[in-house]
Amino acid sequence: MQIYKMLILLMLVAAPGYAKQRQPLDLRTSPTTCIYEPADAFCEFDLNINFDTSDYDELCLEIPQHPKFTQCFNNKNRVSKRLHFQTISNITIKVVDPKAQKIVAKKTVTVGQYQQKSYRVKRRFGWSL
């Protein structure tokens, strides 16, 4: 009888370890980098965001650089968003589980300015030897 009690206790303690493990969220963003020239005031691009919500009851898409933009999804399918940005700084995209208050996935779109360097050696007299 004592063995049965120990076995039941062991099953109750070990059972959460055998619970279904969630797969890491596959967050895809395109483009991953935006480069703008010095003549431009900012980098302008359309950002495509894709992820699957099937393992979660609800997920929220957050962009900290734009606090007014938060969208939550509770459907069990693929989320696809297309957003237009004009920026000079990096953009961070977070997918958050609001129930657990946990960041499930995070990506950064890097924004940089391109400055062409002149490597040409200018000689004083190009016609002389």
pLDDT score at 18: 47
Whether residue 11 lies inside any domain: the answer is no
pTM to 2 decimal places: 0.69
Domain, as residue range, for 74: 23-111
Q: How many distinct structural domains can be found in the chain?
A: 1
Read off the CATH number of the domain in which 104 is found. Answer: 2.60.40
pLDDT score at 55: 82
Whether residue 75 lies inside any domain: the answer is yes
Q: Are 67 and 129 in contact (CB under 8 A)?
A: no
Q: Which two tokens stand for residue 101?
A: 């208050």
Whether residue 10 lies inside any domain: the answer is no
Whether residue 4 lies inside any domain: the answer is no
Whether residue 100 lies inside any domain: the answer is yes
Which residues are within 8 A (CB) of 22 and not within 5 positions of it... i.e. 6 or more apart? Answer: 55, 56
Cα-Cα-Cα-Cα dihedral sign, residues 74, 77, 83, 89: positive
Which strands, in side-by-side order, build the sheet including 91-97?
A: 33-36, 102-113, 91-97, 59-62, 70-73
pLDDT score at 108: 95
Whether residue 54 lies inside any domain: the answer is yes
The pLDDT profile of the chain, 129 residues, written as one tens digit per residue, is 677 666 576 565 555 544 456 677 889 999 999 998 888 889 999 999 999 888 888 999 999 988 788 999 887 788 999 999 999 999 999 999 998 889 999 999 999 988 877 777 666 666 655
